[in-house]
Structure 1
Amino acid sequence: MNYIGKKLKSLRQELGLTQTEMAAGVISVSFYSKVERGLNDIGVNDFLDILQEHNVDPKDFFNDFKSKKANKEKLVSLVNRFVTVSTEDNESEIKNIIKSFEKIKPQTPFIKFIILLARLIAETHNETAMKKLTNKQRNTIKNIIFRESYNDDEYYRILLIANLIQVYNVDEATFFVKSILRRYHDITKVDKKTEIALSVLLINYVDWCFKKKEFKLCKESLDYIKQLPDDIELAFPKILGLYFDESIHGNKEKAEVVKKVLYESGYKVMVKRMEK
Structure 2
Amino acid sequence: MNYIGDKLKNLRQQLGLTQTEMAAGVISVSFYSKVERGLNDIGVNDFLEILKSHNVTPKEFFEDIIIKDNDEKKLNGLVNRFIKVATEDNDVEINKVIKELDKIKIQTPFIKFSKLAAKLIANTHDKKALKRLTTKQKNQIKKMIFQKDTDENEYYRIVILANIIRIYSFEEATFLVKGVIRRYDSSEKVESKTEVALSGLMINYINWCMELGKLDYCYEPLNFLKRLPEKIDLAFTKILGLYFGDLIKQKKNEAKEIRVILDKAGYSTFVNKIAK
| TM-score (normalizing by structure 1) | 0.76
Match status 1:143 vs 2:143: yes
The residue type equivalent to 1:172 in the other structure is E
Aligned length: 233
Match of 2:208 in 1: 208
1:9 deviates by 9.3
CA contact (8 A) 2:138 2:167 kept: yes
AA matched with 2:73? E
Identity of aligned residues (%): 49
Who is 1:64 aligned against? 64
Provide the residue aligned with 2:13 in structure 1. none
Report the AA paired with residue 274 of structure 1.
I
AA in 2 matched with 1:68: K
SS of equivalent to 1:273: coil
Query: What does 1:213-228 align with in structure 2 at a 5 Å threshold?
Result: 213-228=213-228
Change (3 A) 1:8 1:103: farther
TM, length-normalised to structure 2: 0.76
The equivalent residue for 1:48 is none
**Structure 1 pair 8/71, CA: closer, same or farther in 2 (3 Å)?**
farther
Superposed, 1:1-276 pairs within 5 Å as 6-7=6-7, 38=36, 62-186=62-186, 189-274=189-274
Partners of 2:159 and 2:34 lie apart in 1 by 38
1:252/1:69 Cα in 2 relative to 1: closer, same or farther (>3 Å)?
A: same
The Cα of 1:158 is off from its aligned counterpart by 1.0
Query: 1 CA distance for matches of 2:7 and 2:235?
Result: 44
Q: Tell me, in whole angstroms, the C-alpha distance in 2 between the residues paired with 1:274 and 1:246.
A: 14
Which runs of 5 or more structure 1 residues have no equivalent in the other structure?
11-34, 40-58
Larger Rg: 2
- 1:8 Cα deviation from its structure 2 partner: 8.4
What amino acid is the match of 1:147? Q
Contact 2:155 / 2:193 at 8 angstroms: preserved in 1?
Answer: yes
Map Cα deviations across residues 115-153 of structure 1 (whole Å, 9 max, x no partner). 111111110011221122222221121111123421322
For residue 164 of structure 1, report the CA deviation from its aligned partner. Answer: 1.2
In 2: Cα distance, 1:158 partner to 1:134 partner: 22
For the 8 Å contact 2:68–2:106, the answer to whether it is kept is no
